[in-house]
């Protein structure tokens, strides 16, 4: 009885924010799983509700409001869409380099100074670089990012990556 009351209070603290997180997680659950039968949907709903309850503990501010908004969700989905496109393009480039008889590999390292203030956005950006074939984030310390590229073009291409601008917008919308 006490546990039920506690869980309901956490969910009701910010019903709109909780439903936003729950809906986003359910959409991701259904997209990743690729199945939509009722058992799968019910299991996902239970798991995502529990995850939302635990997430609410971390993402609710002093006024009891969730720090996520629709604009952030839109920017995050835009970011993930462009990231998927970049991963797809990089796969073809790396395949061309590897299958080329001359194999034009010229590894390079670059140090980037990020102006991202939140740990979550810095880690998400660093992981995005690593997910893209041909580049890997070697070190992330404070605002300094060390990136290794399969070619110097890969390494230096990260310097002006348009995904950084989207991540910056995402972080600024969180501050509003």
Residues 76 and 22 occupy one common structural domain: no
Q: Report the percentage of the chain scoring pLDDT > 90.
A: 2
CATH code of the domain in which 151 resides: 3.30.70
Query: Using one digit for the tens of pLDDT, what is the confidence trace for 100-140?
Result: 888 778 888 888 888 888 777 888 888 888 888 888 888 88
Q: Would you say residue 24 has pLDDT above 60?
A: yes
Q: Are 163 and 82 in contact (CB under 8 A)?
A: yes
Alpha helices in the chain (DSSP H): 2-13, 15-33, 38-59, 70-99, 119-131, 152-157, 162-175
Number of domains in the chain: 2
| 175 vs 23, higher pLDDT | 23
What residue numbers bound the domain in which 96 lies? 70-175
Query: Using one digit for the tens of pLDDT, what is the confidence trace for 75-89?
Result: 888 888 898 998 899
Residue 64 maps to a domain: no
Residues 109 and 171 occupy one common structural domain: yes
pLDDT of residue 44: 85
Q: Are 109 and 148 in contact (CB under 8 A)?
A: yes
Residues 34 and 96 occupy one common structural domain: no
Q: How far apart are CA 18 and CA 106, in angstroms?
A: 48
Residues 89 and 53 occupy one common structural domain: no
Residue 78 maps to a domain: yes
Residues 119 and 38 occupy one common structural domain: no
φ, ψ at 73 (rounded to 5°):
-60, -45
């Amino acid at each position: 009885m006490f546990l039920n009351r506690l869980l309901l209070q956490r969910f009701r603290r910010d019903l709109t924010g909780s439903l936003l997180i729950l809906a986003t997680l359910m959409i991701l659950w259904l997209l990743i799983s690729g199945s939509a039968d009722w058992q799968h949907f019910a299991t996902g709903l239970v798991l995502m509700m529990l995850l939302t309850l635990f997430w609410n503990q971390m993402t609710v501010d002093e006024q009891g409001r969730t720090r996520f908004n629709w604009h952030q969700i839109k920017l995050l989905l835009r970011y993930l869409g462009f990231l998927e496109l970049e991963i797809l393009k990089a796969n073809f480039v790396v395949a061309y380099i590897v299958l080329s008889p001359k194999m034009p590999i010229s590894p390079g390292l670059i140090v980037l100074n990020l102006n991202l203030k939140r740990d979550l956005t810095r880690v998400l950006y660093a992981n995005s670089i690593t997910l893209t074939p041909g580049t890997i984030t070697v070190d992330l310390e404070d605002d300094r990012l060390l990136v290794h590229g399969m070619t110097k073009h890969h390494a230096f291409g990260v310097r002006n990556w348009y995904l950084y601008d989207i991540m910056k917008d995402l972080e600024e919308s969180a501050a509003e």
